[in-house]
């Protein structure tokens, strides 16, 4: 199934990192977060990606233009300038990089991809969040429900440390446990092509008009994911995700 990834926002809350690169290109374990998200989808066989570009979209284009050569072996003839990329392992992904406007809102970015999606069902997520959600189960749920849209509902990590008591004694302290503060939109949507009719222009915010209308017309269902999910909104989030990856404890690494 085609996968749309929203990668055009300004990422203002991560200004320390996003002055030079767009938010999805902030690195976790030496790889852009965008790569981690794409590896997740590819693990489940979804390997055609439509990246909705905006802020510093040229950085993302350059990354994929150079991907094969930077991640493989090269032979360079210095006298002629000829470059040959040698055989090597590389992801078998088809990546479409589409400029959807600098100031376009999230809904507008999806709408601008309409001609690319060709009236087919598609998946949609944000370029700043990782999860271990089972995409096979998500897709089965969506198909069984037979509604226009499915959103993955998640419980976010608590903003505060969690305490477990044994009488008056603190038996356990957990930093930012995944106990959640109610269900929220975690991205990882599955959508029928008709949802594009709910988006009227570039100014439309996907999370407001379209999703609200889909809910009001009983066309939105939630796939409840109790496992790991984490958005990368702050420098602290970057450090946490990087630490998990470095320690071999990254729950979103569902590929081998």
Which residues are within 8 A (CB) of 78 and not within 5 positions of it... i.e. 6 or more apart? none
At residue 3, the 3 state secondary structure works out as strand
Residue 160 in any domain: the answer is no
What range does the domain containing 62 cover? 2-151+180-246
Give me the residues paired with residue 231 across strands: 129
Q: How many CB atoms lie within 10 A of CB 29?
A: 15
At residue 34, the 3 state secondary structure works out as helix
Q: What is the CA radius of gyration of the chain?
A: 20
Q: How many CB atoms lie within 10 A of CB 178?
A: 17
pLDDT in tens, 87-113: 767 899 999 999 999 999 999 999 999
pLDDT in tens, 33-84: 999 999 999 999 999 999 999 999 999 999 999 998 888 888 999 999 998 8
Residue 169 in any domain: the answer is no
CATH code for the domain of 68: 3.90.550.10
Closest CA to 154 of 253, 225, 241: 225
Report whether 156 contacts 184 (CB < 8 A): yes
Pairing of strands 122-126, 94-99: unpaired
Residue 88 in any domain: the answer is yes
pLDDT at 156: 82
Residue 190 in any domain: the answer is yes
Report whether 107 contacts 209 (CB < 8 A): yes
pLDDT at 182: 79
2-16, 34-48, 176-190, 211-225, range with the lowest pLDDT: 176-190
Residue 254 in any domain: the answer is no
The domain total for the chain is 1
Closest CA to 129 of 1, 42, 241: 241
pLDDT at 217: 93
Give one word for 227, left, alpha or beta, with left for phi > 0 and alpha for psi -120 to 50.
beta
Residue 98 in any domain: the answer is yes
Our measurement of the distance from residue 51's CA atom to the centroid of its chain's CA atoms, rounded to an integer in Å, reads: 10
Closest CA to 51 of 131, 1, 116: 116
What backbone phi and psi angles, to 5 degrees, belong to 153? Answer: -90, 135
Top pLDDT among 175 and 247 is at: 247
pLDDT at 88: 67
pLDDT in tens, 137-196: 999 999 999 999 999 999 887 665 565 677 666 666 666 566 555 789 999 999 999 999
Residue 16 in any domain: the answer is yes
Q: Answer yes or no: is pLDDT of 233 > 60.
A: yes
Instruction: Compute the distance between CA of residue 98 and CA of residue 113 in angstroms, rounded to an integer.
Output: 8
Residue 163 in any domain: the answer is no
């Amino acid at each position: 199934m085609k996968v749309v990834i929203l990668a055009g926002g300004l990422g203002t809350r991560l200004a320390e990192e996003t002055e030079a690169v767009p938010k999805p290109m902030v690195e976790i374990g030496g790889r852009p977060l965008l790569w981690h998200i794409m590896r997740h989808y590819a693990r489940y066989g979804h390997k055609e990606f439509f990246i909705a570009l905006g802020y510093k979209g040229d950085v993302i284009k350059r990354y994929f233009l150079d991907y094969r050569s930077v991640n493989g072996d090269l032979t360079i003839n210095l006298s002629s300038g000829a470059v040959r990329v040698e055989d090597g392992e590389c992801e078998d992904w088809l990546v479409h990089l589409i400029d959807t406007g600098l100031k376009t809102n999230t809904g507008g970015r999806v709408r601008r991809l309409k001609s690319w999606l060709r009236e087919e069902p598609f998946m949609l997520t944000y370029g700043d969040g990782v999860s271990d959600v089972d995409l096979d189960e998500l897709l089965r749920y969506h198909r069984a429900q037979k509604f226009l849209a499915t959103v993955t509902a998640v419980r976010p990590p608590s903003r505060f440390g969690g305490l477990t008591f044994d009488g008056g004694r603190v038996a356990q302290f957990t930093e930012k446990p995944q106990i959640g503060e109610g269900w929220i939109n975690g991205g990882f949507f599955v959508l029928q092509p008709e949802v594009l009719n709910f988006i009227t222009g570039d100014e439309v915010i996907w999370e407001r008009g379209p999703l609200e209308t889909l809910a009001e017309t009983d066309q939105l269902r939630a796939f409840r994911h109790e496992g790991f999910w984490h958005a990368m909104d702050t420098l602290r989030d970057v450090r946490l995700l990087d630490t998990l990856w470095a320690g071999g404890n990254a729950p979103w690494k569902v590929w081998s």
